[in-house]
Amino acid sequence: MIRFFATPQDVIAKSIKLNEEDSKHIRTLRLRPDEQFIVCDGNGTDYVCILGERTDGTLADIISKRGSHGEPTVVCKVYMAYSKGDRLDFAVQKSVELGVHEIILFESERCVAVPRDIPKKVARLQRIALETAKQSGRGIIPAVSSGGSLNSVIDDAVKNSALSMFFYECENHLHIKNVLEEHFSPVSEHDDHTAKTISLITGPEGGFEPHEAESAKSKGILTVSLGTRVLRSETAPVAALAAIMYQTGNL
């Protein structure tokens, strides 16, 4: 079913006001008056709708509402280092498909390319997140923002997450499998060790400097391996998210 996003303020009584872009899209699709589509309020509620009386796509009449099925039971924030070309496009798109809650971009020492116009880059990636959220049936539009320096995102991850992982290619002892088994496998039915809010920090093409990993570790973040093979900068966040979603029953 075709999916659009609105804001809670656009939901008025038994109708939803659609924005100009979505209205234009609906006119292009030439929906029949009785053809149903979904409008999500961005807060996890889906409204099953048909075209309003004007049938020009500016107003949708609500038939029923339900909770969005596309949101995972864990909140995952991914901090991605800037990378060159379209690698961030891929990483953002696939992360949204897998259920990421928020994406924060940052600069680290080995970044090959940092955008000259960061707001423009963030706006482009936010657009990708929106289109992917529509396609994948999400109940929210994951926010994309710039977090500045690595130290800033480390502090943010520690402050706002129950579990934080720093993915480091030189880590030889702690594997993501061990971390997930410890935090997402209850010892008994009465003793749930699940961490509901998770932060993941992944590096640029050149990886992290040793002192960057030590800085994360000194603040209580786990330095974690994704295996014996070195993953590309756009693959690492996707692989980590997929492992988390599988372990928590969200995949």
pLDDT at 5: 95
Can you give the pLDDT at residue 31?
82
Q: Is residue 188's pLDDT more than 50?
A: no
Q: Choose one of 67, 87, 103: the last residue of a domain.
A: 67
What CATH number is attached to the domain comprising 117?
3.40.1280.10
For residue 12, the domain's CATH number is 2.40.240.20
User: Do 142 and 113 reside in the same domain of the chain?
Assistant: yes
**Residues facing residue 16 across a β-bridge:** 11, 60
- E-strand ranges in the chain read 3-5, 11-12, 15-17, 37-40, 45-51, 59-67, 75-81, 102-107, 143-149, 163-167, 197-202, 222-224
The pLDDT value recorded for residue 26 is 85
Q: What is the pLDDT of residues 73-124, one digit of tens each?
A: 999 999 999 999 899 999 999 999 999 999 999 999 999 989 999 999 999 9
Q: Is the pLDDT of residue 244 over 70?
A: yes
Q: Are residues 159 and 226 located together in one domain of the fold?
A: yes
* Long-range CB pairs of 13-17, under 8 A, 24+ apart, other chains included: 14/61, 14/62, 15/52, 15/59, 15/60, 15/61, 15/62, 16/47, 16/49, 16/59, 16/60, 16/62, 17/58, 17/59
Other Cβ atoms less than 10 A from the Cβ of 219: the count is: 15
Total count of domains within the chain: 2
Domain-terminating residue out of 18, 51, 67: 67
63 and 161 co-located in one domain: no
Q: Are residues 44 and 141 in the same domain?
A: no
Residue that finishes a domain, picked among 49, 67, 85: 67
**Does residue 40 sit in the same domain as residue 155?**
no
Residues 118 and 195 placed together within one structural domain of the fold: yes
12 and 94 share a domain? Answer: no
Q: Which two tokens stand for residue 244?
A: 């988390």
Q: Are residues 8 and 115 in the same domain?
A: no
pLDDT at 237 over 90: yes
- For residue 193, pLDDT over 60 is answered with no
| Matching residue, tokens 């609105």 | 6
Mean pLDDT of 197-225: 96
| Domain ranges, residue 166 | 75-247
pLDDT per residue over 134-179, tens digit each?
Answer: 999 999 999 999 999 999 999 999 999 999 999 999 999 999 999 9
